[in-house]
A and B are shown apart, each in its own frame.
Chain A
Amino acid sequence: MKRNTVVLGLVLVILAVFAWAGWANYEYRKQAAEKRLASAATAELVPSAGDPQATLTPMVGKPAPPFSLENLAGKKVSLDDYKGKAVLINFWATWCGPCKVETPWLVELRNQYAPKGFEILGISAEGDDLAPGDKEGWAHDKAAIGDFVQRMHMPYPVLIDGDSLAKPYGGLDAMPTSFFVDRTGKVVAATMGITSKSDIEANIQKALQSGS
């Protein structure tokens, strides 16, 4: 009887230790998961500086995907038309505050480096969730783009319907997104989100020097 009691006690102690270990393990993992969840919930559209920009990085070192889009006058403009020049393909949108901030920098840099064989193709990617048949909505978008171009004195070609290039250009998940293309048509740098005028200038110089 006494022996049975001791065995029973031991079994209970062992079960209690297992239960405690399981509970402690659960609590530890729950807290770790909550910490990870909290950091995942902190949205960041643009990876922090120095972090490879996952969707854009694979495009660097490869030929820029070809395209042909209409400008605001309805004329087709192709990337091929700029072969032999260094090109900044800048995807932007009228509703994008950071795009508005960087546009005057782009205008200055374009005027500064154009004599060296540099051009910017500003591609409007409104990313609007308007229905395809919403003629009024699309006409409003086009008018807003034209108005923006005039007000910002953009001297370089501005093309519309950049959303149609989302797949070949890495998703175009956020604006602004820029691709720096050298004279041979190869992407030498890509950025998502606003950086600084000096960063943009450094990438323009890189595009001008590469492949020449």
Chain B
Amino acid sequence: MLVGLTGLGQVQETEKAGRTSAKAEAVQYLYPEQLSVPAGKSTAVALHFRIKQGLHINAHQPKDEYLIPTVLSIPDSSGVRLESASYPAGTEFVLPVDPSTKLIVYTGEFAIEARIVARPGDHMVEAKLRYQACDNDACLPPKTITVPIDVVGK
């Protein structure tokens, strides 16, 4: 009985936490949280993200010039430089209300292949991902989320 009651409490807490975070962001950064790279050398790293089910975000190269592309950046002062970023191509998405409108979007999980150069030392990098999310009928305002990565340059 005790086991059951304790377990129920945990389930309810998990549910509450899930709902809170579900409301907060359309895109969630998954991993890596920590990286060890050779200092001063260009290193490839794949950054993984998840888009909430039912939503899509514009690809890095959306079809329409008005649409806001998904872009990764790293602040200059972080001790780590973003040399280049290679984005997935995205998939075609047709607006149900207008089949002639075709977009190029990301859905589900996606990864950005970044090449970074780190200075020697431990750097708490707060990279940024800017995106704009929609569902089938409506769109959320553009958003920039922080992508926290602990980068150690050795």
- Chain A residues with CB under 8 Å of chain B are 18-19, 21-26, 29-30, 33, 36-37, 40-46, 93-101, 126-129, 144, 148, 173-176, 192-196
14 contacts between A and B (CB under 8 A): A33-B14, A40-B19, A41-B53, A43-B135, A45-B139, A96-B138, A98-B97, A100-B66, A127-B140, A128-B142, A175-B138, A175-B139, A194-B138, A195-B137
Interface check B74, CB cutoff 8 A: no
Known: A98-B95, A100-B66. 11 other contacts (CB 8 A): A21-B4, A33-B14, A41-B53, A43-B55, A44-B54, A45-B138, A94-B66, A96-B139, A97-B95, A148-B66, A195-B137
- Interface 0/1 of B17-53, CB less than 8 Å to A: 0110010001000000000000000000000000011
User: With A and B bound together, what is the CA distance between A100 and B8 in angstroms?
Assistant: 47
B8 and A26 contact, CB distance less than 8 A: yes
Question: Given the complex, which residues of B lie within 8 Å of A22, measured CB to CB?
Answer: 1-5, 7
Instruction: Write out the residue numbers on chain B whose beta carbons fall within 8 Å of the beta carbon of A173.
Output: 140
Q: Which residues of B contact A94 (CB under 8 A)?
A: 66
Find chain B residues with CB under 8 A from A192 CB: 138
- Given contacts A30-B11, A194-B137, A97 and B103 within 8 Å (CB-CB): yes
Once bound together, how far apart are the Cα atoms of A195 and B97, in whole Å? Answer: 8
Residue of B nearest to A125 (CB): B141
- Evaluate contact between B3 and A45: CB separation under 8 angstroms: no
How many Å lie between the Cα of A25 and that of B4 in the bound state? 6
Q: Would A98 and B138 be within 8 Å (CB), given that A18-B1, A33-B12, A43-B26 are in contact?
A: yes
Task: Give the complex CA separation of A94 and B58 in angstroms.
Answer: 14
B residues neighboring A (CB under 8 Å): 1-5, 7-8, 11-12, 14-15, 18-19, 22, 26, 52-55, 64, 66-68, 95, 97-98, 101, 103, 132, 134-135, 137-144
Alpha-carbon gap, A94 to B64, bound state (A)? 11
Give CA–CA (A43, B134) in the complex, Å: 10
B68–A45 touching, CB < 8 Å: no
If the complex has contacts A26-B7, A33-B12, are A127 and B135 also in contact, measured as CB distance less than 8 A?
Answer: no
Within the complex, the shortest CB–CB distance from A69 to chain B, in Å, comes to 18
CB distance from A142 to the nearest CB of B (A): 14
Chain B nearest CB: distance from A146 CB in Å?
12
Cα distance A148–B66 in the bound complex, in angstroms: 8
Could you tell me the distance between the alpha carbons of A173 and B135 in the complex, rounded to whole angstroms?
13
Given A101-B101, A194-B138, A25-B67 contact (CB < 8 Å): no
On whether A101 and B8 interact (CB within 8 A), knowing A26-B3, A175-B139, A176-B138, the answer reads no
CB atoms of B15 and A43 under 8 A apart: no
Give B26 Cβ to nearest chain A Cβ, in Å.
7
Q: Complex Cα distance A164/B7, Å?
A: 46
Do A144 and B97 touch (CB < 8 A)?
Answer: no
Name the distance in Å between B131's Cβ and chain A's nearest Cβ: 11
Q: A122 to chain B: closest CB distance in Å?
A: 15
Alpha-carbon separation in the docked complex, A196 to B97 (Å): 8
